[in-house]
Structures are given as C-alpha cells and as structure tokens.
Structure 1
Amino acid sequence: MGYKVVVVGATGNVGREMLNILSERQFPIDEIAVLASRRSLGTEVSFGDKTLKTQDLATFDFTGWDISLWAVGSEATKEHAPRSAKANCIVIDNSSLYRYDPDIPLVVPEVNPEAVDGYAKKNIIANPNCSTAQMVVALKPLHDRARIKRVVVSTYQSVSGAGKGGMDELWDQTKAVYNPTSNSAPAQFTKQIAFNVIPHIDVFMDDGSTKEEWKMVAETKKIIESSIKVTATCVRVPVFVGHSEAINIEFEDFLDEDEAREILRTAPGILVVDKREDGGYVTPVECVGDYATFISRIRQDSTIENGLNLWCVSDNLRKGAALNAVQIAETLGNRVLKKG
C-alpha cells in the first residue's frame, strides 16, 4: 500500500526534480497529482514512464491525499499550503516561509530525522535553504565527535539557486560576450554573472549581512545546536548547477584530520573524495545529478587550537531542495505513517 502524493510547482526546476527523484527512489505511490499556477495549467511533466498534466493549485482539493511536496514561492505557499495541512495532507515545504516557526520542524534526514515527529502540531515540515542543507550534513557527524564552537563558511552558489531565470541569464550573458550586439543587461542578478562572481544573494539586512547569510546562521542553529556560532559570506558564481562551500570549523575538542576523514567516510549522505594531488577533489560539475554531499580538502587549521578546513559540494537542486524533500517524505513514512 502506498501514498497519495501531490507535487506543487511541478513545472519548475525543483518540482521536476522532485518527480524524477520520487521515481528514481521508487517512493511508494498509489496516486500522484501535479499542480501549477493557472498560467502553467495543462503543462505536461514526466514521472517515470508516465506523462502527467498539471492541475490548478488554486482550486485543487487536498482532501484524501497523504503528502504534498511544495516547490513554489512563499506567497503561493502562504495562500494555499494551509488548505493542504487542514485537509490532513502533510505539507513538506521548500520555501523559506515556515523554516523559522518554532512549531514547525526544519529537517535534514541525515542530521535530525527525529524532528519529523513534530509535524503534527501544524501538519507542516520545512525544508532548509539549499546552502544550509549540504553544510549541516557535513557538520553533524563532526559535531557529534568533537562539539563545534564556531563555523566560518564562504559559499560559491550556482545560478540555478535563483531558478530558471538565473540559468537563462548566465547562458544569455555568456553568449553575449562573444556577440556584443546581444542584449545582456542584468535582470535576475545585480551585476553581470557571466565570467564574474557576485557577493550578494537575497536582500541586505541592517547588520550588513544578506538574508541568505542569515538563513545559514539561523537554520544551522535550529537543525544542529543553538550554541554554534556561524558566520557566512554567500557568493553567486557562474555555474549552472551545484553549490560549493569552503568551511572552517572550530571545535571544543581536538579532532585530527585523519579521524575526521574516517568519520565523514562512514556518515550518511556523504562521499569523501580527498586526494592530495591534481584533481583529487570534487567540483560542482561532477556532482550534478548525484544524491551525495561530497567532501574534499580536509585539513587541519593551524591558526586555531582545534580547527579544521574542508570543501563541500552538492547538487543544490537535489540535496539542497528536491532530494531532501523526498527524504523527509521517506522519513515521515518510516517513522509515522508506515505505509508502503
């Protein structure tokens, strides 16, 4: 016996990836519905060997459905997700709308699967920000061993994090470099993204940080441990898919780099590729389409007493969004619903 599943925002990058992953992982589904806004109504999307036609989110009745996976913006989620929750169709939301609500669990299944049990307060579970998701997968097993005091992270985030418009803008600007008559003025980003990097993701806050940086701080504290200090610099780079992070960690206890490497090798959701030679590390283009969070460049930081550096790469459309949402559904099924 399987589940009745709804995918909301099925025509977008993340929604399509959710459908791919549900099929790839053979999530137990008896019936599936794909929803979109009225402007995308009737668009066909693939689910395994099936072709599905989108229905109207605004008029869809969630009664009798088990789980809804949401990949639309906060505004549409705010308007329609409560209808799903009220109908006892559990919401797994990829937007930022519910992440900081103390009554709604924020879940990365490799890190805090037990948090799923808190879904019942509002029938909603939140998916973390893409840059946070891969980082906490790397941090948690190390924290369990040596207790993390402070994290300094610099991100190198792909344009797919800004949606299809971001990917189109990188493509158009790249072509325009070789064809100067083309119109390549920035629209999705504040400056040219092709052959450039932009130290600005989301809006600026009063303290000078951006909201993307604030999200990494707040979400890491909620998912792992509130006492961990985090400072982040988030940068958009001209990569289509795949987020990278340079992470510096300060621990309460000493942790040798070799032991850290072995801890990470056996941790769920992680693949360690760490050879001290040319090409002995993973880059974004190599992680596309993969489920894993890849860790490379593990080494001691000699400037502090208990420090470690590492390089972290993951497919942001998968682990940073769609995969994590499906893993939450799997965890929910195994711990609570127990069908399939």
Structure 2
Amino acid sequence: MKNVAVVGATGAVGDRMVRLLEERNFPVRSIKFLASERSAGKTLTFRGKDHRIEPISGDAFRGVDIVLSSTPGSVSKEWSPIAAAAGAVVVDNSSAFRMDPEVPLVVPEVNPQDVARNKGIIANPNCSTIQMVVALKPLHDAAKIRRVVVSTYQSVSGAGMRGIRELESQAEATVKGTDVPAPAKFAHPIIGNCLPQIDDFLPSGYTKEEMKMVNETRKIMGDPTIDVCPTCVRVPVPYSHSESILVETERPISVEQAHALWRKAPGVILQDDPSRLEYPLAAEANGRDEVFVGRVRQDLERPNVLLFWCVSDNLRKGAATNAVQIAEELLKLDLVRS
C-alpha cells in the first residue's frame, strides 16, 4: 500500500487519474489531492470518501510515495523536483521533463525497462505520441522502422476543459442558429472545421506538437534514426485522437503478418474487417484504455510500406491510463519506498 498524491486533480486528465486509481484497484494507503489556490478547499470523492483539495506546497509532499501530476509545464518545473526531493517518485504528465536525458520517458507497452533508471521523476509522453508508439512497437521489433508519416486528427479534449467547452458552445450556437461564439482556446472556430495547428509554430514551419511526436518517438523507441514526418490537426471531436500512419520498414511486412503481430501486442486491439465496415472509431474508443488499429493495407508500389488507422482515448491511454500504468510498473519492480 502506498501514499499517493494527485496534482492537478481537478483538470480533465487529473480527474481521470483519480477514477483510474479506483478502477484499477491501485494499492492506496492514503491519498491527497493538490491543485491551485483557485481549486483549494473544494472536495473530491475517492472510494466513497470525500477529500478536501489542498493547495500545492512543499509540505504537501511529505510522506508521499507516488505523485501523479498533470499541470502546465511551468508548474511541473517548479514542483515536481520538490516532490522528488521529498522522497516521492513523480509521474509527470507535462512536457517539462520529456526530453531531459536524465528523465525516462515511458510507455509501459514499449519501454517499461526505462522506469528503473528514474531519479525521482518519470515523464509521461504526449497523447498523440503514446498511441502511435504502442502501435509501432511490434512492427519495429519485427522489421525495424525507417520512416513514419503521420497525420493526426486530435480531439478538442486534448486542449483541456476549455477546448471541450469551446466546441460545446459553438455546436449549441450552430444548432440554435445563433452567432457562433468567437474562439478563445483555438485560433479559429472549431465547429465545422479542421485546424492544421496544435500548439505554437516554430521557425521550421512545424508546430511544437509535431516536434513532440518526432523527438518523443525516437526517445521512447530508443532509436534516433527513425524518421518521423508529422502533421497535427485539431478536429471537432470531443474525445479520442485518430491517426493516419504510413510506416516504412527495413524488411517487408505483409498485412497478414502485421495483423498477427498486433493480435499479440499488449494494449492493442485489431479492428480490421472491411467487409463488415469494421475499423477503429473515435466514439467507440472513448472510455477505453487500448490502442485500436485498422484499415491496414500495403503500399501500392512498395512492399516494405504499410498504411493503417490508429485510434485511442487521449485522456485515458494518451495521458491518465499511461501514468497509472507507469505507477503500477514502479510497484512491480519494487522501485518505491516502503
């Protein structure tokens, strides 16, 4: 049994972390919920008992074994090292430490061994990266990936509660025939739109979200030679990210071989029966913890190139579930103080 703290417990991801600790019967001795001063004093229910939310402070981490943190990067940079110095292992969902060479970046289905080299902080990858590498891992092991071309179709919940509310308010106005509220979270109205921008643009013309997919994929897969070519798009879908992926491998993999690999792969569900119109759907992935793969086909000209469609719940496997799985891996390897 462990003493657990959830930081950012009132956010979209933090709320799911709390629910997943319940669902997965995580061995919690005690739990505390930490958030900004704005949320402090409110209550959250865990296993039938109400707990008052505390403001984040150095003293709040005293005696805590595991911290699940989902806050902006600036908050994580300040408080995650303090929590680690207090003796906890922090699973950090922000981008603050993902590319720090001293901090492991972990997806348990891909590189669980990296948990063991933590120095108090383990980074949880970006949502779009997590589902992609879960799907890529068995192909990489079988035939070594050279290149990945990915276009994402990312739900508004990836932008937090503000993104969800913005879609809801614009959809309501559209249905009522009233003026659509001006965008606040996104650069343009999201209703009826696809926005080819997630996060800020860089001088290269890529966005920060796209470069996360490039750099995080290489770090998680342990192979800096993998060429990743991403285009990240926000779509008017509430939950679950979808991705169209082209993967080039050193050795050819047939569709049948890929199917066999995915059927055995941890955390993957194959849905690929065109005759029955069976393929992964964002609405059906909502609330699930797996990565769904389908629409698998071979390139028309190149036998070492496969194309497929990949869908996963971005708030669960893309964030909260992956974080709780990392915590479970810590317990499995006995890497948390007793």
Output the TM-score relative to the length of structure 2. 0.97
Q: Which residue of 2 aligns with 1:94?
A: 93
Aligned-residue sequence identity (percent) comes to: 50
SS of structure 1 residue aligned to 2:29: strand
Q: Judging changes above 3 Å, is the alpha-carbon distance between structure 1 residues 277 and 92 closer, same or farther for their aligned structure 2 residues?
A: same
**After the TM superposition, which residues 15-164 of structure 1 pair with which residues of structure 2 at under 5 Å, given as runs?**
15-58=14-57, 60-120=59-119, 123-164=120-161
8 Å CA contact 2:144, 2:249 repeated in 1: yes
State how many pairs are aligned.
337
Correspondence for 2:211 among 210, 214, 217: 214
Deviations 1:39-75 (A, max 9, x none): 0012222323232221111354312210100011111
8 Å CA contact 1:117, 1:336 repeated in 2: no
Q: Judging changes above 3 Å, is the alpha-carbon distance between structure 1 residues 59 and 114 closer, same or farther for their aligned structure 2 residues?
A: closer
Distance 1:236 1:60 in 2: 39
SS of structure 1 residue aligned to 2:266: coil
Paired letter, 1:330: E
CA displacement at 1:182 relative to structure 2: 4.3
Q: Which residue of 2 aligns with 1:165?
A: 162
Distance 1:179 1:288 in 2: 27
Q: Which residue of 2 aligns with 1:337?
A: 335
8 Å CA contact 1:11, 1:43 repeated in 2: no
Q: CA RMSD in A?
A: 1.3
Distance 1:39 1:195 in 2: 34
Distance 1:284 1:69 in 2: 26
Distance 1:160 1:8 in 2: 19
8 Å CA contact 2:148, 2:229 repeated in 1: yes
Does the alignment pair 1:253 with 2:251?
yes
Paired letter, 1:28: P
8 Å CA contact 1:109, 1:324 repeated in 2: yes
8 Å CA contact 2:296, 2:309 repeated in 1: yes
8 Å CA contact 2:253, 2:303 repeated in 1: no
Gaps of 5+ in 1: none
Distance 1:195 1:320 in 2: 24
8 Å CA contact 1:158, 1:243 repeated in 2: yes
Distance 2:127 2:143 in 1: 25
Paired letter, 1:265: R
8 Å CA contact 1:157, 1:244 repeated in 2: yes
**After the TM superposition, which residues 279-318 of structure 1 pair with which residues of structure 2 at under 5 Å, given as runs?**
279-318=277-316
Distance 2:337 2:202 in 1: 44
Distance 1:239 1:94 in 2: 22
Gaps of 5+ in 2: none
Distance 1:14 1:278 in 2: 34
CA displacement at 1:118 relative to structure 2: 1.2
Q: Judging changes above 3 Å, is the alpha-carbon distance between structure 1 residues 181 and 319 closer, same or farther for their aligned structure 2 residues?
A: same
SS of structure 2 residue aligned to 1:58: coil
Distance 1:177 1:3 in 2: 48
Paired letter, 1:47: F
SS of structure 2 residue aligned to 1:34: strand
8 Å CA contact 2:174, 2:180 repeated in 1: no
Q: Which residue of 1 aligns with 2:183?
A: 186
SS of structure 1 residue aligned to 2:98: coil
Distance 1:135 1:251 in 2: 15
Distance 1:288 1:48 in 2: 23
CA displacement at 1:302 relative to structure 2: 2.1
Q: Judging changes above 3 Å, is the alpha-carbon distance between structure 1 residues 97 and 228 closer, same or farther for their aligned structure 2 residues?
A: same
Paired letter, 1:103: E
Paired letter, 1:100: M
SS of structure 2 residue aligned to 1:39: coil
Distance 1:13 1:73 in 2: 13
CA displacement at 1:111 relative to structure 2: 0.2
Paired letter, 2:230: A
Higher alpha-carbon deviation: 280-289 or 49-58 = 49-58
**After the TM superposition, which residues 225-244 of structure 1 pair with which residues of structure 2 at under 5 Å, given as runs?**
225-244=223-242
CA displacement at 1:88 relative to structure 2: 1.1
CA displacement at 1:278 relative to structure 2: 4.7
